[in-house]
Amino acid sequence: MKSITILGSTGSIGTQALQVIAAYPERFRVEALTARRNVELLARQALRFKPNMVVIADEERYMELKSLLRDEDVKVYAGSDAIAQVAETDAVDVVLTAMVGYSGLQPTVSAIRAGKCVALANKETLVVAGELISQLAARHGAAILPVDSEHSAIFQCLAGEGDNPVEKLILTASGGPFRGKDEAFLRQVTPAQALRHPNWSMGAKVTIDSASMMNKGFEAIEARWLFGVSPAHIEVLVHPQSIIHSMVQFADGSIKAQLGAPDMRLPIQYALTYPDRLLAEIPRVDFDLCRALTFERPDTRTFPCLELAFEATRRGGNLPCALNAANEVAVEAFLQERLPFTGIPAVIERVINNITQITSPSLEDYAATDETARRLARECLF
């Protein structure tokens, strides 16, 4: 039986992970659950899954959570330090990092330093500090298993290939809700329109990133560090059907692809049960209903966030960290209707062109870069 801690259990990935765990009570035990502010759902999850510990990041909601669980044998904590501490608890076998944004970095570092197996759904961890995370994982013997559908697909395609040389990783993208639209259209879009993804059910921030194609840029940076390839060997293709989740092209020209229904429970379950494959109550691909699989090049002129991400990872150092921070500020401003959709890449470009580059940043350098980039991004809003 594996003991699981879920960082971000009330979000989209966290709730689906608990569905997977509920399907196999004989295989999994929940050790700890954490959330940012959703006290009510966190309490309901604790009542059902009986974890040893729960943590609410917002310290002002601690007493509310404590009251909801007053009759339960569960330890209740609050604050970001507590989240990092539960990630390194001895009793934990697998830490699923499903927190959104920069906040997932420190607890992921704590889990890696404790030698835990990390099921990584927080892509920003590798976007911000990929080189440092890779070094820490090697030093502490911590396995990192990808949860993103695209990286899980690549991971599955590489299984059994040993040292066979990889020529190219091909990440597929749905194209989001604005595929085929022009810049004039994008200048007028509303948050409600951007949140209507055609294929996937995700949290608000990730859905906006998908609409701008920044999410695919983040995934390219993540793939660089997960699989040890240079940006020149990573390609993005728009695949509107979201049936092929990604592909690997080998040195002999052969391409392996992983197919499946667009359901995040599949890569979540694979990460939690690896190397085993278990029965999953997930829709199967129906080829009678899916007779055409199409591909096209991404339109980086209309969606410049993708190229900004590639530029940041090519230049390296702390620039991907600045990219992520600027994007978080810009997306939040867009959701609050303080910035047009086309303003998101404009803010990001200005920040990464004005940040001081550090070639080999430390964890402290990343924290300082994140703070500075957020300040520069906020200045762009006025």
**Same domain for 253 and 133:** no
Chain centroid offset of residue 381 CA: 26
CB 166 within 8 A of CB 248: yes
The predicted pLDDT at position 103 comes to 84
**Same domain for 166 and 44:** no
**pTM (2 decimals)?**
0.91
**Closest to 13 (Cα-Cα) out of 105, 80, 75, 98:** 98
The predicted pLDDT at position 288 comes to 86
**Same domain for 118 and 163:** no
Regions of the chain short of the pLDDT cut 50: none
The predicted pLDDT at position 102 comes to 82
pLDDT in tens, 65-102: 999 999 999 999 999 999 999 999 999 999 999 998 88
Query: Residue 74 is part of a domain; what is its CATH number?
Result: 3.40.50.720
The predicted pLDDT at position 18 comes to 98
Q: Which domain holds residue 221?
A: 151-315
**Same domain for 188 and 106:** no
**Same domain for 122 and 32:** yes
**Same domain for 231 and 216:** yes
pLDDT in tens, 169-202: 999 999 888 999 999 999 999 999 999 876 666 6
The predicted pLDDT at position 176 comes to 85
| Residues in CB range of 305: below 8 A, 6 or more apart | 209, 212, 213, 214, 217, 327, 344, 345, 348
**Same domain for 275 and 159:** yes
Which of 129, 146, 163 finishes a domain? 146
Q: CA-CA distance, 235 to 300, in Å (whole number)? A: 13
The predicted pLDDT at position 291 comes to 84
The predicted pLDDT at position 187 comes to 93
The predicted pLDDT at position 200 comes to 62
Six-digit token pair at 239?
């695949």
108 belongs to a structural domain: yes
**Same domain for 306 and 166:** yes
Total domains present in the chain: 2
